[in-house]
Structure 1
Amino acid sequence: MTDARGNARPNGDGSGRHTPGTPCWVSLMARGLATTEKFYGALFGWEFRPGPQPLGPYVRAVLDGHAVAGIGVLPPDRRLPVAWTPYFASDDVDRTAEVVRSCGGTVGVGPLDAADAGRMALASDPCGAVFGIWQAGPGAGRGVTGRPGTPAWNELTTYETPHVAKFYETVFGYDEDPVVSADLDYVTLRLDGRPVTGVHGVGNALARDRGPHWTTYFTVEDTGDAVDQVLHLGGHVLTGPRDTEHGRVATVADPEGARFALVQGPR
């Protein structure tokens, strides 16, 4: 996260639907569901309920009755990374998937129905970063944001911003707000004037073992306390905590290596 980050807030028609292009869900593909539930349940206070299973075992993480994230299980015969993936809203997943393909991206899974919850696809941008596309079903409920244990922001780390930012602008209709700086390659992508996500180009500094990737930030009450809890639960601290214009931030990983960030808003 950089100081270009803003506060993204979902909007829509008042139902469970979000304006197309809005980040609307995050999902983790893990290897051990029970141990993963234990870690995030203790860290964020989540409870877990069965969810739609188009790709295998899947649970919804619930906070005070509101679904905030999903956790699925990676197939044991596939060597895929354990990672958090953001989903972006669409009114027509099939059409959005076609736009992804026409712009040089790849659709790796779907589009397919997630029971009666909606319709989804998993895709990657031209540089290889994985993201999801989500079309909510008619009875989908609204998630909760802005409180500890909920997603706050999603940010893409990639090689450089111009090409990949144009990809997401074309697919989701974003407007581009670049940072004018000789030593920072960063673009905030906006919908109707609202910042919804960021793209951070780091050039050759991008780790070869990770490649381009999305990072999800979760709101916490106190970043220092949350970092201590991550360590106590068997996770790892990768960077921080550090103070930024938007709050105190740390990048961490769960016991299986899935990376995410913690952010405590300014006080």
Structure 2
Amino acid sequence: MTAVKVRPAQGTPCWASLVTGDPEGAKAFYGALLGWEFTPGPTTIGTYARATLNAAEVAGLGVAPPGAGHSVEWTTYFAVDDADEVSQRVRECGGTVAVGPLQAERAGRLAVAADLSGAVFGLWQGQEHLGWEVAGEPGAPVWNELVTPDESAAAVFYRAVLGRTVVEAEASAVARGEDDARLLVDGRPVAGIRHGAGPEPGPARWQVHFAVADADLTAHQASQLGGRVLLGPYDTPHGRVARLADPQGGRFSVAGLL
């Protein structure tokens, strides 16, 4: 595996970060399930570690403040050229900015926001740290998808905030299991938008997918490691997918490579 260190274009998902109350338990779970090791990261907003796969950075792990009632969640971060400018557009488009923009030491500048339906996402203006260094290989991120009750409003929001094209799919494609809409960067699909609240209770959310060699085997291993299978494994036009939760409740998906 060769780590790729190229600045991603604005609007491209470039990082995924988990906030959990049990960082050591999360490291043990994801290390065993996805083959990750961990190195220290910036401490601007608390203890933070970067997950690596064969020395290539693939994700982050932060610690929830004690007693704050934070839910355990994965957050998708989008690359932006100017975190302050894009944060302002989030507000102008009716979203909220909960954290930042703030400087994460020399790594870059970040903000954490929510769209009109409450789905949380991050903005990352990379400096020394540009984002994940490998994608689409077992153990690395492969896809990000928004599940929302109002895909039309979401399409308008992300188009305006990120300045990128959002293309809605034809009804026949949706019937085959495709996303209702896709976010495009330079004509290439980088993220999906899907209608509905999904099989799990709760608000709209961005779902992070990690590539695996075998989704069925990974789902079984997740259960053996103390996690849960929330949905699937099931077939999609892009491969076999399972929706999982780690032992602390952090939800994520795995996608078997075709």
Give the TM-score taking structure 2 as reference length.
Answer: 0.92
For residues 34-82 of structure 1, what are the alpha-carbon distances to aligned partners after superposition, in whole Å with 9 as ceiling and x for unaligned? 1110000000110001000111111000111111000001111211211
Question: Closer, same or farther in 2 for the Cα pair 1:87/1:141, shift >3 Å?
Answer: closer
Q: Of 33, 51, 70, which aligns to 1:43? A: 33
For 1:160 and 1:140, locate their aligned partners in 2 and report how far apart those are by CA, in whole Å: 31
Taking only the aligned residue pairs, the percentage that are identical comes to 46
> Is residue 165 of structure 2 the alignment partner of residue 171 of structure 1?
no
Q: Unaligned stretches of 5+ in structure 2?
A: none
For 2:132 and 2:17, locate their aligned partners in 1 and report how far apart those are by CA, in whole Å: 16
The alpha-carbon deviation at position 209 of structure 1 amounts to: 4.5
Which one-letter code corresponds to 1:124 in the other structure?
A
For 2:131 and 2:26, locate their aligned partners in 1 and report how far apart those are by CA, in whole Å: 24
Which one-letter code corresponds to 2:88 in the other structure?
E
The alpha-carbon deviation at position 15 of structure 1 amounts to: 4.8
Q: Of 120, 123, 147, which aligns to 2:137? A: 147
Which one-letter code corresponds to 1:161 in the other structure?
E
Q: After the TM superposition, which residues 113-192 of structure 1 pair with which residues of structure 2 at under 5 Å, given as runs?
A: 113-138=103-128, 140=130, 143-181=133-171, 186-192=180-186
For residues 203-258 of structure 1, what are the alpha-carbon distances to aligned partners after superposition, in whole Å with 9 as ceiling and x for unaligned? xx557941111110000011111111101100000111112221111111000111
For 1:42 and 1:59, locate their aligned partners in 2 and report how far apart those are by CA, in whole Å: 16
2:188 corresponds to which residue?
Answer: 194
Q: Of 240, 245, 257, which aligns to 1:253? A: 245
Give the TM-score taking structure 1 as reference length.
Answer: 0.89
Q: After the TM superposition, which residues 225-236 of structure 1 pair with which residues of structure 2 at under 5 Å, given as runs?
A: 225-236=217-228
Secondary structure in 2 aligned to 1:71?
Answer: strand
1:213 corresponds to which residue?
Answer: 205
For 2:155 and 2:203, locate their aligned partners in 1 and report how far apart those are by CA, in whole Å: 16
Question: Closer, same or farther in 2 for the Cα pair 1:34/1:142, shift >3 Å?
Answer: closer
Q: Unaligned stretches of 5+ in structure 1?
A: 1-13
For 2:38 and 2:190, locate their aligned partners in 1 and report how far apart those are by CA, in whole Å: 27
Which one-letter code corresponds to 2:106 in the other structure?
D
The alpha-carbon deviation at position 180 of structure 1 amounts to: 2.3
Secondary structure in 1 aligned to 2:30?
Answer: helix
> Is residue 21 of structure 2 the alignment partner of residue 28 of structure 1?
no
Root-mean-square deviation (CA, aligned residues, Å) is 1.8
